[in-house]
């Protein structure tokens, strides 16, 4: 068994996700502590561009798994490609992202490799025994615990996006190895027929650096426009989210939902507008670096986790914030 560290990158339509570079950053640090090398896995079809983009970020080797069967994500075909490679090279540590894709894929990979998996981690390190230590939140984010994968290899973990800095590009070149992946379509239990994109597709919540989120207090679907205007004022990397109550009320689509039954996010700035702060919502956003709460109720639970609170009408406060953000952007 080697001391090597592997990370599984994510790309969509030929564009690498930010979490890929965050994984490269922590992967390099872990490899230095284990005394092994760092390798990156890239899966897809016609992905020469993303493979070249990964070069120089710390990986000594980049495995490019190329196949038409990998053009669209399938947990069965992706898992087969990863498992086959791991069984040949035997890395000590295998890391992925705690995204929708990673949460679907990595449990399947772990089961096939008969190893453990630490999910939704916010920190990774190596202890004095050379084992991976994964820090992860429990009890809706109220407690952080350290986990070890014992008596099984590879040690596997999924990292939450936006918790660690991305790797910086250097001059070191990586060896790129193309891997042919053969997947019999008859072996797939499910097949992707069509991808239907929503109009005006926005940045994924898990990748956003700023999220302006609305709750039942927004009052209606049409009122989310003022939240979208505030997000637009922040510019690239900003998007709009919603609480479960807002989604259940039909104010926002389900893919905007933040919380235990939605998406777990970790932006630099989370602005909660008209959100009371139910436990399941807090579980999805309480690790945000800065939280601003806007609510008319001074007793709303959201203020207990907020760094800054504004007790006032969101329909008065949000347009003022939008105007001020635009002014500051213009002066920058």
Mean pLDDT of the chain: 92
DSSP output for 134-178: EEEEETTTTEEEEEE--S-SSEEEEEPTTSSPPPPP-SPPPEEEE
Q: Give the pLDDT band (50/70/90) at residue 69.
A: confident
Predicted confidence at residue 134, as pLDDT, reads: 96
Name the band, by pLDDT with cuts 50, 70 and 90, for residue 323: very high
pLDDT tens by residue, 73-107: 888 999 999 999 999 999 999 999 999 899 999 99
Q: Tell me phi and psi for residue 195, to 5 degrees.
A: -110, 120
Output the pLDDT for position 58: 94
Q: 325 — phi, psi (to 5°)? A: -65, -45
Give the predicted TM-score (pTM) of the model: 0.85
| Residues ≥6 apart with Cβ < 8 Å to 323 | none
pLDDT of residue 151: 82
Task: Answer for the pair 23, 96: CB distance below 8 angstroms, yes or no.
Answer: yes
Is residue 201 pLDDT above 70, yes or no?
no
Has residue 1 got a pLDDT over 70? no
Report the pLDDT value the prediction gives residue 171, as an integer from 0 to 100.
84
Which residue segments constitute the domains of the chain, with CATH numbers given? 5-187 (3.40.50.620), 205-331 (3.40.50.1220)
Rounded to the nearest 5 percent, the helix, strand and coil shares of the chain are 35, 25, 40
The whole-number pLDDT of residue 75 equals 87
What number is the average pLDDT over the span 6-10? 97
Q: Which of 97, 52, 56 has its CA nearest to residue 206?
A: 97
Q: What H or E segment, with its residue span, contains residue 95?
A: strand 93-97
Residue-level pLDDT at 322? 97
For a pLDDT cut of 90, what percent of the chain falls above it?
77
The pLDDT tens digits for 230-251 are 999 999 999 999 999 999 999 9
pLDDT for the residue numbered 260? 87
Give residue 186's pLDDT: 66
Q: Give percent above pLDDT 70 in the chain.
A: 97
Q: Is the distance from CB of 30 to CB of 93 less than 8 angstroms?
A: yes
The pLDDT tens digits of the residues spanning 180-189 come to 887 766 667 7
Kindly indicate the confidence band of residue 139, based on its pLDDT and cuts at 50, 70 and 90.
Answer: confident
Distance CA 96, CA 106 (A): 7
């Amino acid at each position: 068994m080697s001391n090597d560290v592997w990370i599984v990158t994510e790309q969509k339509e030929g564009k690498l996700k930010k979490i890929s570079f965050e994984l490269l950053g922590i992967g390099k640090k872990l490899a230095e502590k284990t005394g092994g090398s760092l390798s990156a896995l890239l899966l897809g079809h016609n992905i020469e561009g993303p493979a070249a983009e990964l070069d120089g970020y710390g990986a000594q080797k980049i495995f490019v798994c190329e196949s038409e069967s990998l053009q669209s994500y399938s947990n069965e075909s992706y898992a087969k490609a990863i498992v086959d490679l791991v069984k040949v090279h035997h890395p000590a540590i295998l890391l992925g992202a705690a995204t929708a894709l990673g949460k679907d894929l990595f449990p399947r990979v772990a089961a096939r490799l008969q190893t453990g998996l630490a999910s939704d981690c916010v920190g990774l390190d190596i202890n004095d025994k050379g084992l991976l230590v994964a820090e992860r939140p429990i009890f809706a984010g109220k407690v952080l615990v350290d986990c070890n994968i014992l008596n099984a290899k590879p040690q596997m973990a999924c990292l939450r996006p936006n918790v660690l800095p991305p790797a910086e590009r250097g001059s070191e070149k990586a060896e790129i190895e193309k891997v042919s992946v053969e997947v019999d379509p008859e072996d797939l239990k499910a097949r992707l027929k069509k991808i239907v994109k929503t109009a005006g597709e926005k940045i994924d919540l898990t990748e956003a650096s700023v999220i302006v989120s609305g709750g039942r207090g927004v009052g209606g679907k049409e009122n989310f426009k003022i939240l979208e205007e505030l997000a637009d004022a922040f510019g690239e990397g900003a998007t709009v989210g919603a609480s479960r109550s807002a989604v259940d009320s039909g104010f926002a689509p389900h893919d905007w939902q933040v919380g235990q039954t939605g998406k777990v996010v970790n932006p630099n700035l989370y602005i909660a507008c008209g959100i009371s702060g139910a436990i399941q919502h807090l579980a999805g956003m309480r690790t945000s670096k800065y939280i601003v709460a806007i609510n008319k109720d001074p007793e709303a639970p959201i203020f207990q986790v907020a760094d800054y609170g504004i007790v006032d009408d969101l329909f008065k406060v949000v347009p003022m914030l939008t105007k001020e953000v635009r002014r500051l952007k213009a002066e920058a």
